[in-house]
Homo-oligomer: A and B are copies of this chain.
């Protein structure tokens, strides 16, 4: 193995509110010699995801906080470039949690964290999106929580995003109506034209709950049976006003609250009145569904029946800015950082 330099993005201070560039620091470190059992992976893509904002807080969320002065966590795809482990050969393409860095050294004991994937039928980057954590998240919320019957109406916020776009497509494949909510005419057009939703509402033209609720009423004349929540806040309040009896809400993200802003729910009595079910989930709790979900998603994608978009930043240097943009909704579809 040649001596190469690794570049890493460390979290060096905790943001209060929106993250800033100076919360991160880029460092260069030499790659160590591989010990027995170890594998060296060169990352092709890093995944940027909203959950990372929660990890930057000091308080324990649903996982331990990201430690300061360590490599930011993150999902990665890459290629094995050196291996002292029988289970991996040079050239294997692998998915893992390599973090915000160019290379990852994986211990033999941790080798279960790496999953070999086939990059011939499916582009490698898709394993961080439609056939990865976002895809399985969409699959779980739609299939296990919302479980729409044919003809029912499913609403999806952040509908042009990596998760939301898959939710709508899976809902359509199951015979449901899909109505998206997204920010701006360009995203809304893509939600309908590319991802095949029946309708998309631009939340930016609705200043308050009343206006958004009226738009939902027009787009969902038979009410809302399922809602996949990525955002929280005013959008959730508006959806609840249009929810049908026995509506299911899969609560997967509340970006509106990630920066610490309080986001009360205006009318919880509607949960009782309409006998709704609201279920929060994170997909890493549900490891048992991954094989079934990835099977369906991979088959659909390889057959050209599942569409996705990516926004790609270039180089590890660009990761902090791309992440800040992600939280502001500047990306379109899956936000990646290309590292090679």
**A251 interfacial by beta-carbon distance below 8 Å:** yes
CB neighbours (8 Å) of A257 from chain B are 269
A109 contacts B by Cβ under 8 Å: no
**Cα(A262)–Cα(B267), bound, Å:** 7
A265 neighbours in B (Cβ, 8 Å): 264-265, 268
> Smallest CB–CB gap between A316 and chain B, Å?
30
Q: What are the interface flags for A58-75 relative to B under an 8 Å C-beta threshold, 1 for contact and 0 otherwise? A: 000110000000000000
| A169–B7 alpha-carbon span in the complex (Å) | 60
Closest to A253 in B: B272
> Are A276 and B280 in contact (CB-based, < 8 A)?
yes
Is A263 at the interface (CB under 8 A from chain B)?
yes
The reply to whether B279 and A277 contact each other, CB–CB distance below 8 Å, is yes
Count of identical protomers in the assembly: 2
The smallest beta-carbon distance between A304 and chain B, in angstroms, is: 33
Q: A271 contacts the other chain (Cβ, under 8 Å)? A: yes
A283 to B: closest C-beta gap in Å: 10
A282 at the interface (CB under 8 A from B): yes
Nearest opposing residue in chain B for A258, CB measure: B269
Question: Does A281 make an interface contact (CB < 8 A)?
Answer: yes
Cβ of B251 and Cβ of A262 under 8 Å apart?
A: no
On chain B, the residues within 8 Å of A267 by CB distance are: 262, 264
CB of A254 within 8 A of CB of B275, answer no
Contact of A274 among B274, B277, B280 (CB under 8 A): B280
Contact surface of A with B, Cβ cutoff 8 Å: 61-62, 232, 236, 245, 251-254, 257, 262-269, 271-282, 285
Q: Which 6 A-B pairs have the closest CB atoms?
A: A272-B280, A265-B265, A271-B280, A265-B268, A264-B264, A257-B269
